[in-house]
Amino acid sequence: MAQPESGKKEKSKKKRSRVSKPVTDHYKLIRLFCYTAVVVMAVFTLAVVLAFGHYRLYPGRVERDSIISPDRSSDYIVLQWDETQNTDIYKVWCKERDTSKKKAGTDDGLDENGIGAKSGKTVIDDSWRELETVGPEIKVGDLKENTSYSFIVRADNENREGIPTGVRNFRTKKSQSIDIVKKVTKCTASKPFKLAAEAETDLIYESSDPEVAVVDPETDEIKVVGEGDAVIKVRAKATDEYDGAHDAVELKVLYSDPVDAGGASAYTIYHLDSENCEVIKEITGAGGATVPQGLAYTGDKYIVSYGMGSPDRVISFDVDGDGKEVSVPSISLGHPNGFTYSEESGLCYCAKGWTSRVFTYDPKTDEYGSVNLSYGASGIGYDRKEKLLYTCSRTAMAAYDISAGYEVKYTTGVVNHGSYLATQDCGGHAGIMLRCLSGSGDTHGINYIDLYHMTTGRYLGTITCDLSEVESCIVDKDGFLEIMANNTSDVDYIWKTDLNIETLGEGL
């Protein structure tokens, strides 16, 4: 009985033996897989460590084609490029682009805006200007206008220097300015006008005070709205080729309600004194003649007639400098109240006072003569713009065409000031007659200048003057009113005002 049981046990052992072998192989596979995974992880970890070490060691590379210039001017160029990894600082090299080796007819790689690239390695030597920046942008200044510059960029860190880019070329823009009259004078009766401005690009205008003047954005015309002062801001647009530019024009608008001159009452539109005028010339007499009477202007010389109870003298003063020449008249000028110079005839004209006979003086030959006019005159002036000779008296003003044998072109009456005023002299420009007056009492107190538009015969208003006795006036080459005032001392002044008569006369 025991033997069969033993047989069963052996079968059972054999059966267990057949089952255990596959299990053992399975464990071996698991162990092999684990070993392999460990090795793979170790290799991966090592690769990561090595890669991370390489990442920490080497900076990224700036790509040449990523360098752009988002902003350029006539004296600076802004550069931008893609940010790179592991970079502590960017080195930038700049130099004026060498075009001396460029062959005729070859392509320099620049487009019409001066932007382009150059491939190949370039030696960075002392001829390059070295700059640096933390971020991927830099503004390179102190450059020449309309000049092409070459740039190289390199990314660095504390461990390594990076790889420099190829050369990238950019050109600075051209600068420009706005050619414009800086001060403009208008009346409230003036018509809409345009500023005579020139620039390389389109201009934009803007008024600082719409209650004085407004600008039509479609036509650029400026319309006078009321009296006062305004600034007309002028901007030239920036383009790919040119810088933008800014300027400003001071606009002064005088009150004016034009009426016919004859019998009209005077009204004040402006006041001149030492606050808005400046002395630009001191003058003195000679040979016993110390009282200045009339002022002429040639552009480079002031010519003054001296007289009134003393010997007559005609004295020329350099506008710039201290030159002074004295002429002794060969004929008696009498009371040389009015004096002017005509570019058209090359002669000075002297109104003796209360007579139609006018003396002439040639400043080049020092010769004297005379002509007869149709009306008696106490003052005389020349309008360079209209090429007309003006005369004034206590009762009337006249305009003469010199080229037509002193033919009378226009006449107009005078306004009533309500009290006696002495006519001293007159000046004129751009169709406007400027009649100088002083009181019969204190001639060194408040004096007056009446403004008349001669072609229409309209009185425009009166300027009061607190500059001592106003003897005469002229309009200088820039269009500004200048006044000769006789002081109580031996030194007399020529004052420059802030009134531009040339712009005032346009559009009345």
Q: What is the DSSP string of 296-364?
A: EE-SSEEEEEE-SSS--EEEEEESSSS-EEEE--SS--SS--EEEEETTTTEEEEE-SSEEEEEEEETT
- For the chain, give the number of residues: 508
**Cβ burial 366-394 (10 Å sphere, 16+ → b, else e):** eebeebebeebbbbbbbbbbbebbbbbbe
Q: How far is CA 502 from CA 285, 430, 479, in A?
A: 31, 5, 5
Please, what is the end-to-end C-alpha distance for the chain in angstroms?
Answer: 150
CATH of the structural domain 183-254, one choice from 2.60.40.10, 3.30.990.10, 3.40.50.150, 3.90.1150.10? 2.60.40.10
**93 alpha-carbon distance from chain centroid:** 34
For residue 5, what is the enclosing H or E element?
A: helix 2-57
For residue 450, what is the enclosing H or E element?
A: strand 447-453
pLDDT on residue 105: 39
Nearest to 299 by CA among 324, 316, 322: 316
Per-residue pLDDT of the chain (508 residues; tens, 9 = 90+): 444 444 444 444 444 444 455 556 666 767 666 667 666 665 555 554 444 555 558 899 999 999 999 999 999 999 999 999 999 999 999 999 987 655 443 344 544 444 554 545 678 999 999 999 999 999 999 999 999 999 999 999 999 999 999 999 999 999 999 999 999 999 999 999 999 999 999 999 999 999 999 999 999 999 999 999 999 999 999 999 999 999 999 999 999 888 888 888 899 999 999 999 999 999 999 999 999 999 999 999 999 999 987 799 999 999 999 999 999 999 988 889 999 999 999 999 999 877 889 999 999 999 999 999 999 999 999 999 999 999 998 888 999 999 999 999 999 999 988 888 888 999 999 999 999 999 877 788 999 999 999 988 899 999 999 999 999 999 999 999 999 999 988 899 999 999 999 999 998 8
- Whether CATH 2.60.40.10 fits 64-171: yes
| Dihedral angle of Cα 419, 425, 430, 431, to the nearest 10 degrees | 60
Nearest to 379 by CA among 302, 434, 311: 434
Q: In sequence order, which residues have a C-beta less than 8 Å from that of residue 321 and are 6 or more positions away?
A: none
Under 8 Å between Cβ of 220 and 233:
no
pLDDT on residue 259: 85
Say how far apart CA 397 and CA 382 lie, in whole Å: 13
Q: Are strands 458-465 and 245-254 parallel, antiparallel or unpaired?
A: unpaired
DSSP track, 325-339: EEE--SS--SS--EE
Question: Residue 106: phi, psi to the nearest 5?
Answer: -90, 160
CATH 2.120.10.30 domain residues, the chain: 259-505
For residue 502, what is the enclosing H or E element?
A: helix 501-505
Say how far apart CA 187 and CA 252 lie, in whole Å: 8
pLDDT on residue 33: 66
CATH 2.60.40.10 domain residues, the chain: 64-171, 183-254
What is the residue type of 199? A
Tokens 């009456």 found at = 413
Say how far apart CA 198 and CA 201 lie, in whole Å: 9
What is the residue type of 17? S
Say how far apart CA 312 and CA 327 lie, in whole Å: 9
What is the residue type of 217? P
Under 8 Å between Cβ of 465 and 146:
no
Under 8 Å between Cβ of 501 and 473:
no
Say how far apart CA 344 and CA 339 lie, in whole Å: 16
Q: Classify domain 259-505 at the CATH class level.
A: mainly beta
DSSP track, 136-166: SEEEE-S--TT-EEEEEEEEE-SS-B-PPPP
297 token code pair: 């202007």
429 token code pair: 């420009």
Say how far apart CA 188 and CA 224 lie, in whole Å: 6
Say how far apart CA 60 and CA 480 lie, in whole Å: 65
